[in-house]
Structure 1
Amino acid sequence: MNIEYIAVLDHDHLDNGLFLTSFAKAVASHSERGLILHSDSAYTDRIIQTGVMRADARIRAIKDLNHRLIALLADQGVSAIGLNGYQREMITIDNSGIDVDLDKFRQLPTQPVLLLSTLIYSLQEDKPVHAKLPVLAGLLMEKFETENLYLFTKSEDDDIIKKELPSKLSEIENAGEFIQQRVPDEFHNNLLNGKLTTATDFQNYPDIKNCTILDL
């Protein structure tokens, strides 16, 4: 199965309507097949406020977000398949770790975009559970044999003011400060050798000039 890139929508960006619209427009400009990976957002906390337990609220929020993102992509003319990893036990977890069943992915229709959530199937608990975003992103990079994993800067100024990003994290004098200010929180301790860019610059894939290689 040919996946050219993995684009990761982190917790904060999933609650940012302007970013999501810009991101959907960027995906609409691509001819290459990509996979969009997402977790939950602040929507989970809003569900919790109605009296739902956190674990159940997170699962409900992620499912709802998957549907909403499919609709958002469709508004920009993007034909996407919305998936939760637990469906058909495509992604499972047990005592030995997380496993991705590539054969089941290969059976999917060949739409240009796959939208995948972090809900995977626990063989021990016999139910859907949430996988950590960096862990699942790293595993998918390995399974689909792609080095093109994109994160999006959490500094809105980078997109609005069109700031130029440094080319490599290893060349930045204060890399720790850069990570804190720009890298999504979930990835501070696991950069996965990904690439950091903006939603606007993502339109230029595969020739994205304004991005930072997270090579520490």
Structure 2
Amino acid sequence: MRRMARLLKVSTSGYYSHVERCAATIVTPRQQRRADLTVKILDVHAESDGTYGSPRIITELRERGETVSAKTVAAIMAEIGIEGISPRTFKVRTTVTDPAAAFPPDLVRRNFDQGRLDAVWLTDITYLTCGQGETYLCAIRDGHSRRVLAHVLADHIGADMVCQAIDQAVATRDRSITGTVLHSDRGGEFTAG
């Protein structure tokens, strides 16, 4: 290269600058393909009202006959600054503390397995999403055996479902449970009179 530049009486840096300028104006097939994909991705994203993310866009492009990889679509979407919208899941707050309630001392102190059955029972209420509507589950579990002793399903949260679960757990053990500690969070249904 140096010899040719010397014979033509031009600088080597001038030659390389000329090559870079020519390369900048010529679109390579790869650049053209990426530009076409960008337009198609924007089109699919707009048709979905801006909700489709890369997995759905890939599926749609493939249904339209495009051969495209998941990484390429994700990279192009990140490059142009678009993303899908994930529906936010509705989260029910199941622990509502009663400010007027008196809380007993913590007898368990995070040591749930006391080395014997019926020393500590653990309970909580959770929300379940079902096709039929809203459902709440109250379960009681033995801290040592980790066996679920009782569970109650209801369409509402309340102290009555906790009482039912306790009655079921006592009936399951079929023996005296004197001295058993029922450990729960500080939800109002557990501290109700």
TM-score by length of 1: 0.20
Structure number with bigger Rg: 2
Higher strand share: 1
- Work out which structure has the larger RCO, using CA pairs closer than 8 Å and 6 or more positions apart in sequence: 1
